[in-house]
Amino acid sequence: MTKKYFGTDGIRGKVGSGMMSPDKVLKLGWAVGRVLASRAQEAGLNKRVVIGKDTRISGYMFESALEAGLSAAGVDVELLGPIPTPGIAYLARTLRASAGIVISASHNPYYDNGLKFFSPEGKKLDDELEHAIEAMFESEMEIVESAVLGKAYRVVDAQGRYIEACKASIPMHLRLNGLKLVLDCSNGATYDIAPKVFAELGADVISIGDKPDGLNINLECGSTHPEALIARVKAEGADLGIAFDGDGDRVLMIDHKGEVVDGDELIYIIAQSRQQQGVSIGGVVGTLMSNLGMELAIKSLGLEFARSKVGDRYVLELLNENNWQIGGESSGHIICLDRTTTGDGIISALQVLAHLVQHDISLADARAGMDKFPQVMINVPLQGNNNPMQASSVQQSVEQAEGRLNGRGRVLLRPSGTEPLIRVMVEGEDEALVSELASTIADAVRSAGQAA
């Protein structure tokens, strides 16, 4: 059954249009409150929802709208303020709330915003619950009696609680003393928390992208734009750099030579670390976009490897299905189920740093066990609601590319789950050939889209 409003990761869109207008968000808050209040009552849970946000300016507006809608449904609200998405998942669980709501559009620009939802266990909502919320949203809004309206509270120690949870994800005796780190907080939700976490563990911390003004979130900074971080790591002679996205659930790193270490490589390092500690993680989950070099490297560790559809919820589903512990995406969305319930940029970075410190090696050395295949991805904007992927010209270009790769590479076309784009990915041993084939397929997709 297709969902009308929920995408692969909650609801997202341009501020002021579609579901991301204050009146829609208010009613959505009411619908969430009605559904979750009913379930909470059945399960003996509190009728209480925690709300956190990133730093974009529209967060104030949507926070107030959600608060009003939840109150109208008779649900209390606990406001966390600016805090990374995984922090909200953690606090939903530890504060024994009936749900957690994140106001964020992740790596998107400030003029977009969105809503993500977490269960009382700190996990993404299942399809059944999202369908129930959509059905309630389309019903007539009925406000509870005044005597049972929800109340709102400010959680004053939310940041401190989450900081301690992050630090507790690595051994108590471990210190980062002697490590010089540059953090790029993307002018987002990690801007205040991440520097404190790493500094309190003993690292020499230099921060950039730590001055949010409501409009500069993800603007030429963070995990999607690592250029400034690369330059700063080199200029400071730092051991490495760490880049988060706007809501803090993704992380990429920069080694001391200024080279990007992506999510695939970080997952490999974490998996290797667990293996060397004698910790059983079962296997590793990547996605359809994960580099073939990652798959081969994981298997070389004696671990199983499986691919899910793109999206952290699908990674999590496959991890749970296989009873495995580690998985994620090349974008840096990494899930360590032996440490937390969802993708967490700070905690993932700490797992890598713990490995480097314990073995006294550099990030460049740690990544050396994985040889990445050249991979090119081109984003082709969609025009209207047409689907050029079904065009015969596109399918023919894919078949021709696969023939030229001759079994030593992959071609993948998929629509983005968060933006109106078709992502064209080609991977193989020959970088020049990979680039040529990706460009050819992207041109075919673009032409088919214009002709439709």
Q: DSSP secondary structure string, 313-345?
A: HHHHHHHHHHT--EEE-TTS-EEETTT-SS--H
Q: Which fold has domain 375-451?
A: TATA-Binding Protein (3.30.310)
Residue spans of the domains in the chain: they are 11-157, 176-258, 262-372, 375-451
pLDDT of residue 255: 98
Residue 392's Cβ-count burial label (10 Å; 0-12, 13-18, 19+) is: exposed
Residue 117 β-bridge partners? 101
pTM: 0.90
**Superfamily of chain region 262-372:** Alpha-D-Glucose-1,6-Bisphosphate, subunit A, domain 3 (3.40.120.10)
Interatomic CA distance for residues 274 and 369, integer angstroms = 15
**Domain 176-258 carries which CATH code?**
3.40.120.10
Query: Backbone phi, then psi, for 10, in 5-degree steps?
Result: 80, -145
Asked whether the CA dihedral 315, 369, 331, 80 is positive or negative, the reply is positive
Among 99, 69, 71, 72, smallest CA distance to 80 is for: 99
Asked whether the CA dihedral 409, 420, 344, 199 is positive or negative, the reply is positive
Query: Strands 204-208 and 421-428, how do they pair?
Result: unpaired
Q: Do the first three CATH levels of 176-258 and 375-451 match, i.e. the same topology?
A: no
Buried b (16+ CB within 10 A) or exposed e, 221-239: bbbbbbebbbebbeeeebb
Q: Which one-letter DSSP state was computed for residue 296? A: H
In order, the DSSP letters of 233-287 are: HHHHT-SEEEEE-TTSS-EEEEETTS-EE-HHHHHHHHHHHHHHTT----EEEEE
Residue 392 makes CB contacts below 8 A (sequence gap 6+) with none
Question: What pLDDT, in 10s, does the model give residues 50-88?
Answer: 999 999 999 999 999 999 999 999 999 999 999 999 999
Residues with a catalytic annotation lie at 106
Torsion of CA 412, 414, 418, 421, to 10 degrees: 100
pLDDT of residue 1: 66
364 SS3 class: helix
Structural contact between residues 253 and 183, judged by C-beta atoms closer than 8 angstroms:
no
Q: Which fold has domain 11-157?
A: Alpha-D-Glucose-1,6-Bisphosphate; Chain A, domain 3 (3.40.120)
Q: Please give the helix or strand (H or E) that residue 405 lies within, else none.
A: helix 392-405
Tokens of 346: 């700070």
Q: Please give the helix or strand (H or E) that residue 79 lies within, else none.
A: strand 76-82
First-to-last alpha carbon distance for the chain, in angstroms, is 27
pLDDT of residue 71: 97
Q: Which regions of the chain are under pLDDT 50?
A: none
Query: Backbone phi, then psi, for 52, in 5-degree steps?
Result: -130, 170
Q: Tell me which residue has tokens 């969430």.
A: 32
Question: What pLDDT, in 10s, does the model give residues 252-278?
Answer: 999 999 999 999 999 999 999 999 999
Tokens of 256: 């001391």
Q: Which one-letter DSSP state was computed for residue 192? A: T
Interatomic CA distance for residues 162 and 179, integer angstroms = 22
